[in-house]
Amino acid sequence: MMIEYKNVLTTCPYCGTGCGLHLQVLDGALVGVLPAKEHPIGQGGLCIKGWNAHAFVNHKDRLRTPLIRKKGELVEATWEEALKLVAEKLGVIKTKSGPDSIAILSSAKCTNEENYLLQKFARAVIGTNNIDHCARL
């Protein structure tokens, strides 16, 4: 059997700093992280989260589908079902308690375009200025 070992350069998914890291791939499986020495952001350093950035990828506790609580139990659902439910509930809350009863939390790891869309959604669709992101949490 041919042995395959390579590193895939990527950006740490955890915070807005965006340190460069290598995902170590052995025979097609993700096995670890190495810092990227020449990356202009991290310059070969990582924090404890970056060093463990591979750990969640295949973790057994990782959510692989949306979950909807039905009769007190979390039940696996499709994205269509989940988004429909969220949209309905947000609509009800907005009508009943007003748009400022809703807050949106975005992420420093989203792209600029995604963050733009989310603030647009908060301001233009929901009608609130309650928008913030994880880098301040």
Partner 1 sequence: MTERLTPLRQAIEQVLPQVEGVLAIKRGPGGIVAPYLFSPEHVDELEMLALWPKEPVPDTLKLIQQAHPEAKLGVVCRGCEERGIVEMFKHAQVNWDNITIIGLQCTQEEAEFCRCAKPFTVHTKTIVGKPIEGVPDPLTDGIEAMSLSEKLAFWKEEFLHCIKCYGCRNICPQCFCNICKLEDDKWVETGRLPMTNPSMYHLIRAMHMTAKCVACRECEETCPAGIPMAVQFRLINRDVREMFSYETGAKLDQKPPQLLVLEEGDYERTGLPH
Alpha-carbon distance 91 to 16, whole Å?
Answer: 31
Position 32 contacts partner 1 (CB under 8 A): yes
Quick one: which H or E segment has residue 37?
none
One of 16, 37, 74, 120 touching partner 1 (CB under 8 A):
37
Among 3, 63, 124, 137, binds partner 1 (CB under 8 A): 3
For residue 39, what is the enclosing H or E element?
A: none
Binding string, residues 42-71; x marks residues near partner 1 by CB under 8 A: x-xxxxx-xx--------------------
Q: Is residue 35 a contact residue for partner 1 (CB under 8 A)? A: yes
Main-chain phi, psi angles of 26, to 5 degrees = -115, 120
Closer CB to partner 1, 38 or 73, in the complex: 38
Pick from 27, 29, 43, 33: nearest CA to 10: 33
The contacts found for 61-65 with CB under 8 angstroms, 24 or more apart, are: none
Residues that bind partner 1 (CB under 8 A): 2-7, 9, 20, 22, 24, 26-27, 31-32, 34-39, 42, 44-48, 50-51
